Each structure stands twice: as C-alpha cells, then as structure tokens.
Structure 1
Amino acid sequence: MPELTILYRGPLASCDYDCPYCPFAKRRDTPDTLRADRQALERFVSWVAGRTGDRLSVLFTPWGEGLVRSWYRRAIVELSRLPQVRRVAIQTNLGGRTGWLREADRARTALWCTYHPGQTDHARFLRRCRELDALGVRHSVGVVGLPEHLVAARRLRGDLPPEVYLWVNAAEGREYSDAEAALWSAIDPYFGWSRFPHPSAGAPCRTGETVISVSGDGTVRRCHFVDTPLGNLYDGSFAAALRPRGCPRAQCDCHIGYVHLRTLPLYGLFAGGVPERIPAGWPGPPPEEFPGQFRMPTPA
C-alpha cells in the first residue's frame, strides 16, 4: 500500500454557518462529541505518522466546520511536516483566522474553500483569500450554483487573482438549462462536470483501490457514498480488501466521489491538485482533451 489518498470524516457535525441548503447549519455538537472527535483525529494523525513507508494524501471532509477547532489546525500542521504526506487539505468555509498556517509546511498544505453568500460578507471572505495568497497556501474557492448566488459569484471571480480557481458546484437536485449552465460556465469553465450526475454503475473507480474513506472509529469504506466497510484502519484489516472494483451505485453526483472515476479524465485535469480541487496548469482555457461541458450519454 505505498500510495493512498484518504478522505477522513470524524464525528464533528457542528457549523457556525446557517446555510439553508445544508442539513448541518448552525448545528451544535455536545462536549462529549467534540471530545470524541478530537480523540479520533489525534488517533488518525498518529496512524499516519507511523506509515513511514507510504506516500499519503489526506483530505478532511467534515460535516461541520473543522478549522474553528484547534485540533484540526494542529492536525494539519503536524501532517504537513511528515515526509510521507504529499498533501493535506481540508474543506472549509474560511471563516476563521489563517495565521496558524505559518507553522505548517505550506508546500504540502492546501485549503478547499467554499464561499457562502449571506453567511459572510464579500470583503471579509476576500480578505481571508488574500491572507492565503500572502502566506503562499494553495487554495481553491467555490460556490453552490444557486440563482441567488450568481451575482456574488461573478463579483468574487472578478476580485480574486486569476491564479485562484473558482469552482461552482451544481446545487443538489437542481436541473440547469443550457442557458443557465452557460452563465455558471463563464465563471467556472469546468462547471459542466458538476452539472449532471455521472453514470457510474459498474464503472471502474479508484475508490477502494488507491482512495479510501475513513470514519472516526477507523472504519474504512471505499468512499463516503458506499456504506459497505472494507475493514478497519487501525487493525490493518482494510489493506487486504484494496483492489480495483466497479462502482455499486447507479450514479455519482459529488465531486469528491466522481473525480476518482476512471471513466472520466479528471485525474488528468486536476493532476497535482486532486485533494484541493485545483486544475493542473490553472489559469487558462480548458484544454481540448478536458472539455468544460460534460454531456449525459444519449439513452440507447
């Protein structure tokens, strides 16, 4: 198991934002849950520290906001300093301070930042992005493609440096007309890959082979969207289950899932930036081999 990408999600589910499209908005974890989350994360960091013969990438995908918790900031700093860790990244609303990143190895640290209009003002979010620029921390920025976010997304794209990739996630369950998709594609040339769910039944996927999902108790699954356990991280039982396998789901509609499908060219598109969602060679127009618009296959 020399090279592995790990998506880690512990018990944390609390968030300081109140987004109407998120079931975890303004949720508060109990002190016991926060304690369990901290202990689980510390155990995970210790496991990674012991894998000196591996090459690992880690993406934290908490249900809530992790960077308001000291143990996530500490974990990122510690992991970034381990020679076996190629990249450590986290999904965040970027609401918290950024100065702690000075302690990290910034060449191997990255942030996947989501802008939530209505939860934070434009100037504050943009200031945080500029702090990351000044620190030299790789980061992508994105928004959910809701009609009420379009003006704010255009403004943010205009104020961010061209070197910062701004992605757009299709809103869950929303169908976009070609005209609507064109508006979002003007902001994110790769919006088309998010626009439609990707047919995945039986499709070869890196999850369960070189990519795994790990929960706080160490249960290993192929990805966040397939419940079947492969084993446990801490007793090593998962390792024997790692192999090429097809997807058991009919479709995949989340970037952290479909980016790993071997039927899509997204490892080429995001080469060197898969965990943090940064296209290779960004900025620039979509190369011909990576068209911006994914089209649903025509039914037979």
Structure 2
Amino acid sequence: MKILYRGPLSSCNYACHYCPFAKAKESRESLKRDQQALLRFIDWVRGQTVEPIGILFTPWGEALIRRWYQKAIIDLSLMAHVKKVAIQTNLSCRLDWLERCDKSKVALWTTFHPSQVNRVRFLGQCQALDQQGIAYSVGMVCLKEHFNDIALLRRELRPEVYLWINAYQTDYYTQTERDYFKSIDPLFNAIPHQSKGRRCQTGETVVTIDGDGDVRRCHFVKELIGNIYSGDMTLKPRLCPNQICDCHIGYVHLNDLGLDEVFGEGILERQLKMTN
C-alpha cells in the first residue's frame, strides 16, 4: 500500500508568489498539533506489518525544516515493513540527519525555486545527496522568467537525475515551448487529464491520510473512505469522480496512463525508472 500523508502543517520558509503558503507562519500551538498528529501516524504505521508500505509526505509548505519530520523519516526508514519513505521538499534544510536513516529506503522529491535560492547552493545540496547515496528527483514550476534556469539546471544535474517540469497554466506556452520542455521532461504536460469515469489505483492500493487519521482516496476527492484510528478503512477498485486531474500526485495513479510502469520503484519520489 502507498500512503500520501498530509498533516495540519501549513507554513513555508519560501515566498513564491504563486503559492498560498508563501512565508506563512504558524503558532507554537499549531506546530505542536502537527507534531502530535505525525507521532500518532508513525505509531499507527509501526503496527501495520501485514503488507509492505510506501509513504510520501505531501505537506502544505516546507516540512523538513522541522525536526519532527526529519525524525519521522529516520524512524520510518528503519521499520522493516516500510519499503520507501519520501517527502516533497525545497531542500533548504540541513542534510546531516540523513546519515541516521536506512538510505536505501529514503527518497526526496525536491523542487528548485529560482526566486528563493541561488542555483549554485541548490546544486550543492543535490551533490550532498549524491555523496550520501540518497535517491531524489528535481523539479521546477515552469514560469517564463525561469526558462533559462531550467536549461541550466538540466545541464548541471547528473544525467541520471530526472528533471520534471510542472506546467504553470494550461494556455501559458506556445507549441514551440511545449516541444522544448518535452525534450527535457518527456512527461511535461500543460493539458489536464480528462479523468472522470477512468479507473484509478487511488482508494485501492493508494490512499491519502490526514492528521486526524481520516482516509480519502486522493487529495482531490473529498469523500471519506475510513479512518485509520477507528479501523474502518475500505479499499476497493474505484473510478475517478472528477472531470479532470491536473496534479501529478493524482494522475500518476490513473491505470490507463501506465505511469506506475514508467516510474517503477521511484514513483513516490517522482524518479523515472529508466534513470534509477
């Protein structure tokens, strides 16, 4: 089973203009509530030894600047039945704590934000991951002012590292620009997937869990399908109820796209199988 966990944390140390959580801060009480929710989730995972589990943290904001997320990844990686633990991050945190993990199980879904961090510093963090043997992907939001940064980043990263590109808006690019970005990221897609009525692995082998333990099939379908703490989670094949799916963490699980085969064991950290 694959789990996408998103607790109540909703703050970030970056100030990207397109993000609602830019430079958002939380009270001590809010942060404590997030920490307690995360600890409770880890305790639950510890007891789920029947089948292998993969976990991707998808926080609203940046989580790895919080020590409890670092410890969570360490602890989860050391559990025998947890096969992969990954997290979305801007890579602004210290990385020495990764030495305490089972590195074969840890992976980072990293995003470069040129308006917030120098490219040389970001690449230095990537090189540190290389030296530690940590799997990771790198991505960017494809804004016009960052086109040159995308080209430079592709040139400077190791060829084996997948550079994914998220489209900013549907009608934002010319066809020439789309073709160019597909040459860098073969999965670059500026057009949302028509998903209504299509079979999806979410709710069957993939679920999202929030800080209260409520289970939904994915982040984009509000219907509850159980709660891990009351033990009533119902997993079964389901069709997508939404007209479109325009986020990777959703459409990557659409059966007929076959992206689980494209990513293989790197699906949680968004790393292509061909480059693993």
| Same fold at TM > 0.5 | yes
CA distance in structure 2 between the partners assigned to 1:211 and 1:8 by the alignment: 11
Partner residue of 1:257?
A: 250
CA distance in structure 2 between the partners assigned to 1:180 and 1:157 by the alignment: 16
The CA deviation at 1:172 is 3.9
Conserved in 1, the CA contact under 8 Å of 2:37 and 2:212?
A: yes
Query: Identity percentage over the alignment?
Result: 50
Conserved in 1, the CA contact under 8 Å of 2:140 and 2:164?
A: yes
Partner residue of 1:25?
A: 22
Alignment of 1:195-274 (within 5 A): 195-238=190-233, 241-274=234-267
Conserved in 1, the CA contact under 8 Å of 2:169 and 2:190?
A: no
Determine whether 1:186 maps to 2:183.
yes
- Name structure 1 gaps, 5 residues minimum: 284-300
The CA deviation at 1:189 is 2.2
CA distance in structure 2 between the partners assigned to 1:143 and 1:72 by the alignment: 23
TM superposition score normalised by structure 1: 0.90
SS at match of 1:270: helix
CA distance in structure 1 between the partners assigned to 2:153 and 2:85 by the alignment: 25
Alignment of 1:146-161 (within 5 A): 146-161=143-158
Q: For residues 138-194 of structure 1, what are the alpha-carbon distances to aligned partners after superposition, in whole Å with 9 as ceiling and x for unaligned?
A: 000000111111111111111111111111011144443321102212321221xx3
Determine whether 1:282 maps to 2:271.
no
Conserved in 1, the CA contact under 8 Å of 2:77 and 2:106?
A: yes
Partner residue of 1:290?
A: none
The CA deviation at 1:106 is 0.5
CA distance in structure 1 between the partners assigned to 2:98 and 2:242 by the alignment: 38
TM superposition score normalised by structure 2: 0.98
SS at match of 1:186: helix
1:79 aligned to which of 60, 76, 98: 76
SS at match of 2:43: helix
1:53 aligned to which of 40, 50, 55: 50
Distance 1:179 1:247, change over 3 A: same
Alignment of 1:93-172 (within 5 A): 93-172=90-169
The CA deviation at 1:68 is 0.1
The CA deviation at 1:31 is 0.9
- CA RMSD of superposed structures (Å): 1.0
